[in-house]
Amino acid sequence: MKNVNYTSWQIAALVILRVLIGWHFLYEGLVKVINPAWSAASFLNAAQGPFANLFKSMASNAATLDVINFCNQWGLVLVGLSLIVGLLSRWACIGGMALLFMYYISNPPFIGLDAIAVAEGSYLIVNKNLIELFTLFVLFLFPTGEIIGLDRLLAFAKLAK
């Protein structure tokens, strides 16, 4: 078990933040899992910016698209579960950051690109994906799974070896 020096308020704030982000991921994931018609195709086809062609080519190949759909929906679910219960939570942060990074660069709010049709706000370079991505980075650097979470039991298991 690591030596950490958080105050209990700091722990509470970090754990709540972790659970909230986990909740967001879990819901985004499950909503796609239960909808048989869901596919990343339309999202990928709407890609803009420097990597637009890469994302569009992903959508054009049925086999690739199946893999992407699977990884995206179950990736979201796993990251969400992991953050909520605090199991392998640092890995979850990395996974979540990777997903958010893809969402961000597929449709970046750069100057000169069209705002996506139903974006619910106005953005310049910084959007919610980018903020959530860096929030996960903070959680990665200030882990709490071993204090409040199943990682605590995992740490004991390791110690016992």
Partner 1 sequence: MEEKKSNKISRRDTLKALVTLPVLGYFANRFYVKYENDLSSSDFTRMKLEVADTSIQIPAAGYSSKGKQIRLGIVGNGFRGPQVLRSLGFAEKEWSEDKIKNGVPGPRLQSFLDQEDLNIVITGVCDTFSQRAEEAADIVSSPFRSGGAKQLNRPKIYANYREMLADDNLDAVVILTPDHWHAKMAIDAARAGKHVYLEKPMCQTAEEAKLLRDVTLETGIILQVGHQNRQQASYIMAKEIIDKGVIGPVSLVETYTNRNNDHGAWIRGIPKNANASNINWKEFLGDKAWREMDLDRYFNWQKWFEYGTGPAGNQFTHEFDCVNQVMDLGIPKRVIASGGNYYFNDPRDIPDVFNAIFEYPDRGMSLTYDCTLRNSRLRDKTFLGKDASMEVNVGVAVFPDSQSEKYKKYELESDTPLYTYHPKSDAVDAVTSATAKYYHDRGFGYTYHNGKKLDATYLHVKEWLYCIRQGIQPSCNVNRGFEETTTFYMSNLAYLEKRVVEWDAENEKII
Alpha-carbon distance of 148 to 8, in angstroms, equals 11
Interface with partner 1 in residues 25-54 (CB under 8 A):
26-27, 30-32, 34-35, 37-39, 41-43, 45-46, 48, 50, 52
Nearer to partner 1, 140 or 154 (CB): 154
Residue 100, CA atoms < 13 Å, CB-side half-sphere: 23
Q: Does residue 1 interact with partner 1 by CB under 8 A?
A: yes
Nearer to partner 1, 30 or 140 (CB): 30
CA-to-CA dists, residue 78 to 29, 37, 91, angstroms: 8, 21, 11
Angle at 57 between CA 56 and CA 61, to 5 degrees: 120
Q: What is the binding site for partner 1 (CB under 8 A)? A: 1-8, 11, 15, 19, 22-23, 26-27, 30-32, 34-35, 37-39, 41-43, 45-46, 48, 50, 52, 56, 59, 81, 84-86, 112-114, 116-119, 147-153, 156, 159-160
